[in-house]
Amino acid sequence: MDAVTLTLVLVIVLALFFDFTNGFHDTANAMATPIATGALKPRTAVLIASILNLVGAFLSTEVAKTISGGIIREDQIASDLFPAIIFAGLIGAITWNMLTWLLGLPSSSSHALFGGLIGATIVGVGYMAIDFSVVLSKVILPAVIAPVTAGVIAFTATKIAYVITRRYDGKPDGRDGFRVGQIFSSSLVALAHGTNDAQKTMGVITLALIAAGWQSASNPNPEPWVIIVCGLTIALGTYMGGWRIIRTLGKGLTEVKPAQGFSAETSTAATILSSSALGFALSTTQVASGSVIGSGLGRRGSIVRWRTVGRIMVGWLLTLPASGAVGAGAAFIVVRLGFWGILLDTLIAVIIVTALFLRSRRNAVTASNAMSEVADSGAAVKVKRNPPPTRRQRSVAREEARRLAAADAAARRAAKSADSAPGDGAKKGPRR
């Protein structure tokens, strides 16, 4: 096996491992809410998510074509160097994914991939090999617009849900029917995740195949075997659960009512599916978080913890440069040492992943304890246990107060009349 073929094989293996980490990293986006509200049991939730991720992988390839034929200018990179650059970028993405998974932080796997590829390409080739117009239009702008859009949709949906069901204002469990709706809405989010995130690994593998000359550059569509393998890999990663991320998001979602969860999930699914159809490789994590915040603002009595939201947003801002820095460092080794640099990068990546995994075993998080001893880093929304009354409740309370006041006044008048009657008879005296 020559160096180019071996490099291509390593790229495919590493890309599939990234796909696996993407699966368990983003399970929480679809299933943290229904698990927290009791709509689905943990194992049932991740099984549904894994199946629908697999189905979603076959529904669209627009995002894959954005990566395989848009962000990086293949004609600016030598064919023998291109697979090594992709390899270095994947190391940056996987390192960031594993680190944030260990910390239980809901970061963006998508931006980790883009950052790693961009950093590796800049160091290995130069700025001219990056199409920054595509990066801006299909990566940066969606990252800014999509969470806001999802938040506005979730805010509106939550308002409508509570207006329609306002007759249940006096019944704390009167909206439990939304738990049934959450089964469908969270399933739709999982399906949407497959149409977007599974495509990114397909695009990377297709990019590597084009660079190695194994696929024509005029056809950026992923091969059928690539679609099948990537779909199965992300489904397997999803089934593993990503319980650390679910635990983090679960802290902020445990007190969110089913109506809010249903609204947030519906908003997330609608945003992701629309973006997948347009080829926007957005972050499902950011969309899901924006939906949760919007649903929190839409429910009377909810408080959004903006300080925590700020910390999460700082993590999002660090994802691109942090993964880009690691990808750039890996590319520097490749450029300096050639094929031996690829082997050295492989060894370093195996050591990092193994060390992070062994560190995670010290305080393992599983389906049995994911919703206990929850972390504080994801507590984005908290609902008051005794929220202020709604407009209808205030109106009913005022009417009741007026009725009680009228009854009290009538009682006082009757008592006064009863007290004065014997006195009048005594004053007049008996009649003879």
Residues 195-217: pLDDT tens digits? 777 777 888 888 788 877 787 76
- Token look-up 């999802």 returns 150
CA–CA distances in Å: residue 306 to residues 273, 297, 303, 377: 28, 11, 9, 12
Backbone angles phi, psi at 381, to 5 degrees: -130, 135
Tell me which long-range contacts 340-347 makes (C-beta under 8 A, separation of at least 24).
341/84, 342/7, 342/10, 342/84, 342/87, 345/87, 345/88, 345/91, 346/10
Higher pLDDT, 376 or 131: 131
Q: Determine the average pLDDT of the residues in 40-50.
A: 84
Taking the alpha carbons of 131, 322, 121, 114 in that order, is the dihedral positive or negative?
Answer: negative
CA-closest candidate to residue 257, choices 157, 382, 365, 142:
382
> Do the beta carbons of residue 60 and residue 277 sit within 8 Å?
yes
Judging by beta carbons within 10 Å of its beta carbon (0-12, 13-18, 19+), is residue 257 exposed, middle or buried? Answer: buried
| Tokens found for residue 131 | 């199409």
Q: How does pLDDT run across 87-126, given as a tens digit for each residue? A: 899 999 999 888 888 877 777 787 888 889 899 999 988 8
CB contact at 8 A, 128 and 49: no
Residue 223 has pLDDT above 50, yes or no: yes
Q: Tell me: pLDDT of 266 over 90.
A: no
Q: What percent of the chain has pLDDT over 70?
A: 79
Q: Which of 36-50, 284-298, 332-346, 373-387 has the lowest mean pLDDT?
A: 373-387
238 or 383, higher pLDDT: 238
pLDDT in tens, 227-254: 889 889 988 888 886 777 776 665 554 3
Structural contact between residues 275 and 282, judged by C-beta atoms closer than 8 angstroms = yes
Q: Which of 268, 82, 88 is nearest to 189 (CA)?
A: 268
pLDDT at 376: 38
- pLDDT, the chain, mean: 77
Q: Which two tokens stand for residue 397?
A: 């309370």
Instruction: Say what the alpha-carbon torsion angle 402, 407, 408, 412 is, to the nearest 10 degrees.
Output: 140
- Confidence label for 383 from pLDDT (cuts 50, 70 and 90): very low
Can you tell me the distance from the alpha carbon of 328 to that of 70, in angstroms, rounded to the nearest whole number? 20
In order of 14, 352, 360, 413, the CA distances from 349 in angstroms are 10, 5, 17, 88
Backbone angles phi, psi at 303, to 5 degrees: -125, 125
- Whether 373 shows a pLDDT value over 50: the answer reads no
Domain ranges (residues) in the chain: 3-383, 390-423
Band of pLDDT at residue 379, cut at 50, 70 and 90:
very low
**Residues near 1 by beta carbon (within 8 Å), at least 6 away in sequence:** 9
Sequential DSSP letters for 219-270? --SPPHHHHHHHHHHHHHHHHT--HHHHHHHHHHHTTS-HHHHHHHHHHHHH
Q: How is residue 36 written in tokens?
A: 């927290």
Q: How confident is the model at residue 66 (pLDDT cuts 50, 70, 90)?
A: low
* Per-residue b or e along 369-391, where b marks 16 or more CB atoms closer than 10 Å to that residue's CB: ebbeebbebbbbbbbeeeeeebe
- What was the pLDDT predicted at 63? 62
Q: What's the CA gap between 147 and 153, in Å, rounded?
A: 10
pLDDT band, residue 60 (cuts 50/70/90): low
